[in-house]
A = this chain, B = another copy of it.
Amino acid sequence: MADKAQIQEAIKTQGEVVRKLKAEKASKEQIDEEVAKLLELKAQLGGDEGRHQFTLKTAKGTRDYNPKQMAIREKVFNTIISCFKRHGAENIDTPVFELKETLTGKYGEDSKLIYDLKDQGGELLSLRYDLTVPFARYLAMNKVTNIKRYHIAKVYRRDNPAMTRGRYREFYQCDFDIAGQYDPMIPDAECLKIVHEILSELELGDFRIKVNDRRILDGMFAVCGVPDDKFRTICSTVDKLDKMSWEDVRSEMVKEKGLSEEAADQIGQYVSLQGGMDLAERLLQDAKMSQSKQACAGLTDMKQLFSYLQLFQVTDKVVFDLSLARGLDYYTGVIYEAILTQTGPVPVAGAQNGAGEKAEEGVSVGSVAGGGRYDGLVGMFDPKGRKVPCVGVSIGIERVFSIMEQKAEASAEKVRTTETQVMVASAQKNLLEERLRLTAELWNAGIKAEVMYKKNPKLLSQLQHCEDSGIPLVAILGEQELKDGVVKLRTVHSREEIDVSRAELVEEIKRRTSVV
């Protein structure tokens, strides 16, 4: 038996022979004969190469968006972008990959989820893990000290995908951030206002926005007697309270992490607390809590935050919740997370937003937005360590997509995937040229028009296409219409037809489709 490379070479040559015969429109017999030789060669190779060469799939944890999904995506993005623009945000974009070192040391344990590019000579690169670190890199690199920007783009995590629940390895983040030295809590309040506006407008059902502050958490750990070197690990255990009982959390703290029972119980009393401005006031008076400067600074800011949220009329959905921890290392002040509280027919799932560190662990309620203040991150990039205070929010849009897609499924209303206003059709033969001429006229007048790419399509199939894709109008041409200088304009849903003069057609279509 000849060696594999030889056979492959022979397959290539034979493939070329077949290709040429086909191109030359050689006789069927001749082609079949050569194809048979080709198949014989392929069979010699055996295994995969003898049969089908390609695995027809997308990479693990990723998906295509079909036109229907794109229509929904466009609608969701429009809502979000409108909100960001209403708040005066500028837009930026960054490359999909960064130098590997740019991402190093920003995500703690999650760094193992970063996609690296192969070393093909040159720089070592990684796909971005979120939009926050590239934003901080952008600010430091361009010496931008204040900006309000949004950025909508895909990020990449080698996570365990759960795609039916909206958890992907490639997913969108919609980030809004405010960078700059300002008076406390004003930009922070605007971020929460934005979450409130977006979740209300998307009509995803009722939601809550939990708020806490890293300084309050750290202060709380300190006064409860958590040793300094255990802050982070205890914090990540606390973070599990939304999916584990207090007993389990306590047990993990004591047994796995070696915290004293006393300290654990003290934490337990605090993290069960939820409230609003009143709670912040109460804790400022709390004998223990008030011993921590950090906690007091956080609580004073929390009071201030709630006073601004009252002005923004969003306190109905916002809860000061001492159990909210959020995993990312870079937060330094206020942190927040929005969850949908309706458990309906929608898939209950971990979301992918800034709260990726939670998604991994499989939260059972839907977190759809998260964020907080990160005053130190830009300084990590600046050669002189100059800080630029930042606060921002990330909308976890994949979960929103799945909810919207499910809603669309359930609804009787059809999702249109094109915006075509009119189909240029004909009932008679040999009118292709007239159809093309009219279609071009309509395109040139800014009308969204389609025409079938067949010389003599059946009227029924032209009308069927309109039904299928929701095109509201049909402009029908026939010998008589051409003679009379008119077009028969048919309304698809009512089947009503009227003659419209060619000169008035554009205006008539515009008039009708602005109402339809």
Q: Indicate whether A272 reaches chain B with its CB closer than 8 angstroms.
A: no
Check if B55 sits within 8 Å of A99, measured CB to CB: yes
Check if A443 sits within 8 Å of B86, measured CB to CB: yes
Q: Across the interface, which residues of B come within 8 angstroms of A147, CB to CB?
A: 67
A170 → B minimal CB distance (Å)? 5
Q: Which of A24-48 contact B (CB under 8 A)?
A: 24-25
0/1 string, A137-178, CB within 8 A of B gives 1? 110111000010100001010100000000000100000001
Check if B448 sits within 8 Å of A86, measured CB to CB: yes
Q: Indicate whether A102 reaches chain B with its CB closer than 8 angstroms.
A: yes
Q: Indicate whether A90 reaches chain B with its CB closer than 8 angstroms.
A: yes
0/1 string, A321-333, CB within 8 A of B gives 1? 0000000000010
Check if A88 sits within 8 Å of B450, measured CB to CB: yes
Q: Indicate whether A60 reaches chain B with its CB closer than 8 angstroms.
A: yes
Binds B, one of A111-119, A238-246, A507-515: A111-119
A54 → B minimal CB distance (Å)? 5
Name A98's closest neighbour in chain B (CB-CB): B59
Query: CB < 8 Å: which of B57, B93, B229, B440 contacts A70?
Result: B93
Q: Indicate whether A92 reaches chain B with its CB closer than 8 angstroms.
A: yes
Check if B56 sits within 8 Å of A383, measured CB to CB: yes
Q: Indicate whether A344 reaches chain B with its CB closer than 8 angstroms.
A: no
Q: Indicate whether A95 reaches chain B with its CB closer than 8 angstroms.
A: yes
Binds B, one of A252-260, A415-423, A485-493: A415-423
With A23-B294, A183-B454, A311-B436 given, is the CB distance from A90 to B70 under 8 Å? yes
Check if B85 sits within 8 Å of A448, measured CB to CB: yes
Query: CB < 8 Å: which of B60, B186, B332 contacts A122?
Result: B60
Q: Indicate whether A263 reaches chain B with its CB closer than 8 angstroms.
A: no
Check if B117 sits within 8 Å of A91, measured CB to CB: no
Q: Across the interface, which residues of B come within 8 angstroms of A3, CB to CB?
A: none
A170-B93 Cα distance, complex, nearest whole Å: 12
Q: Across the interface, which residues of B come within 8 angstroms of A117, CB to CB?
A: 115-118, 127
Name A383's closest neighbour in chain B (CB-CB): B52
Q: Across the interface, which residues of B come within 8 angstroms of A444, CB to CB?
A: 313
Check if A193 sits within 8 Å of B443, measured CB to CB: yes
Q: Indicate whether A204 reaches chain B with its CB closer than 8 angstroms.
A: no
Check if A23 sits within 8 Å of B215, measured CB to CB: yes
Check if A311 sits within 8 Å of B433, measured CB to CB: yes
Identify 16 residue pairs between A and B in the complex whose beta-carbon atoms are under 8 Å apart, listed by A's number.
A24-B293, A53-B380, A54-B381, A56-B383, A58-B95, A63-B95, A64-B93, A86-B443, A86-B449, A87-B449, A90-B417, A116-B118, A116-B120, A187-B453, A197-B443, A307-B433
Q: Which 10 A-B pairs have the closest CB atoms?
A: A67-B90, A182-B453, A62-B95, A88-B450, A116-B118, A65-B93, A186-B453, A70-B91, A88-B420, A52-B383
